[in-house]
Structure 1
Amino acid sequence: MAAGMLMPMARFALDPALRAGAESEFLYVCDVDQLTEDPQVFPFNFDQVDAWYESEVSRDVYVYIRDNEVTALSAICTHLGCTVAYDGNDDYPEQFFCPCHFGRFDKDGHNIPGTPPRRPLDAYEVKVEDGKVYLGSIYQRT
Structure 2
Amino acid sequence: MTQRVTRRQFLNYALMGTGSFMVAGITLPMARFAIDPLFAAGADGDFIQTSIRMDEITDEPVKVDFTFEQKDGWYESEVSDFAWVYRDGDNIIAFSPVCKHLGCTVTWGGDTSNPDMFFCPCHNGYYTKDGNNVPGTPPRGPLDQFEVADSDGYLALGALGANKLVG
**TM-score, with length taken from structure 1:** 0.82
Q: Which aligned segments of 4 or more residues in structure 1 are displaced greater than 3 angstroms?
A: 4-9, 19-22
Task: Choose from 139, 149, 164 the match for 1:127.
Answer: 149
In structure 1, the partner of 2:127 is 105
Task: Choose from 1, 25, 44 the match for 2:46.
Answer: 25
In structure 1, the partner of 2:159 is 137
Higher strand share: 1
Amino acid aligned to 1:134: A
Task: Choose from 89, 93, 109 the match for 1:67.
Answer: 89
Q: 2:121 aligned with 1:95, yes or no?
A: no
Q: Which runs of 5+ in 1 are unaligned?
A: none
**Displacement after TM superposition at 1:67 (Å):** 2.1
Larger Cα-atom Rg: 2
Q: SS where residue 64 of structure 2 aligns?
A: strand
Cα distance 1:20–1:104, how it changes in 2: closer, same or farther (>3 A)?
farther
Amino acid aligned to 1:23: D
Higher helix share: 2
**TM-score, with length taken from structure 2:** 0.70
C-alpha RMSD of matched pairs (Å): 2.8
Q: Give the number of aligned pairs.
A: 139
